[in-house]
Structure 1
């Protein structure tokens, strides 16, 4: 065992914030094992203290800025 963390899979709409239940965009992998999921708000609120405690933070909040694909006129029918 090298001590390296295994890669994490992307968060989905089914992943929910452990504080409020909103969609999760931040995963905190804890140094002692386990993980916490947070919405963007709670990720910002707790991110620095989790990093200071040795957690690895996977932040996907940039997905909030993505523009969803729009339907073409043929698809709208």
Structure 2
């Protein structure tokens, strides 16, 4: 796996490995460089177990509460 792949922003095509919901957290495992992606709910559930095994923990869950500007056309 390349660094570019691991550091790219997650998008709507990235789905949680547990439930299939949109993924907001990417975990890269230190042992083999494998990648796991999770929704916010499942990331919180596995964080205590996986965080010590991860070389990278990329968390975009803050996007869940961002306000998106709405354009109003006249």
Q: Could you say which TM-score interval applies, normalised by the shorter chain? A: 0.7 to 0.9
Aligned to 1:64: 64
Considering only CA atoms, is the larger Rg found in Structure 1 or Structure 2?
A: 1
Find runs of 4+ consecutive structure 1 residues off by over 4 angstroms: none
Which structure has the highest helix share of the two? 2
Distance change (3 Å), C-alpha of 1:42 and 1:55: farther
RMSD, aligned CA: 1.5
Structure 1 stretches lacking a partner, 5+ long: none
Pairs aligned (count):
70
TM-score (normalizing by structure 2): 0.84
Flag the structure with more relative contact order, 1 or 2, with Cα contacts below 8 A and sequence separation at least 6. Answer: 2
Aligned to 1:34: 34
Aligned to 2:24: 25
